[in-house]
Amino acid sequence: MSADRWLPLESNPDVMNKFVHKLGMPKEWGFTDIYSLELLDMVPKPVAAVLILFPVNQKYEESSKEEQEKIDKEGQEVSKNLMFIKQTIGNACGTIALLHSIVNNSDKIQLSGYLSNFIEKTKDMTPEERASYLKEDEGLSSAHEESAQEGQTEAVDEEVNLHFIALVHKDGSLYEMDGRKPNPINHGKCSNETVLEDAAAVCMKFMNRDPTELRFTLIALSKLSDS
């Protein structure tokens, strides 16, 4: 496996949970499917973050370019407490999204092992330096490969056109955390209690860009139990 490209991680909460629990996320927290934006009451609460897997197509790229041009022109508020990681490894978006969702909720989730060490070692790094750190981290690369190969679908080592991002709440705002972009995207006001609903509204915007596109998967990071 090339250090510059990983096997794509399947959008399977069971695979994801096995992966992040090995890395030091407690088992009372886990990833779970969001089956429909109209069935949010079925999602375990509280929700700390939402992941979205979506197709990268021309409509998405054009919309993202316009969004970034507006930010570059008008600016935006971004919390200094966010930990943002650039993605420089191909097909690593799944692991980057998992990391974004978890490390930015370390105030809610008692982390240990790799995840705790990652935060401590990279807290003062730039997003680009964190990317370099991950690129040289053979332990994480091996863990990612093992999890990618455990998925139900056959893993193929090639560029894919589906992309994972995380939507997280920090300091009163909801942020889109996409390592392919220059910076986090502030999507407006949010709270610990409204993360799921606010993230669902952003997911709907993604879907409305191309109503004919059906390849969307939504996953919540939720507290599943008290022990």
| Residue numbers annotated as active site | 93, 163
Amino acid letter, residue 169: H
CB 28 within 8 A of CB 109: no
Burial class (CB in 10 A: 0-12, 13-18, 19+), 40: middle
Q: Kind of pairing, strands 29-34 and 185-189?
A: unpaired
Sheet holding 217-223, edge to edge: 29-34, 217-223, 47-55, 162-170, 173-177, 185-189
The token pair that represents 199 in the structure block = 């993230």
Compute the distance between CA of residue 190 and CA of residue 173 in angstroms, rounded to an integer: 5
Q: For residues 44 and 31, give the distance between their C-alpha atoms in angstroms, rounded to a whole number.
A: 10
Asked if 148 and 7 count as a contact pair (C-beta separation under 8 A), the reply is yes
Give the C-alpha separation, 149 to 111, whole Å.
25
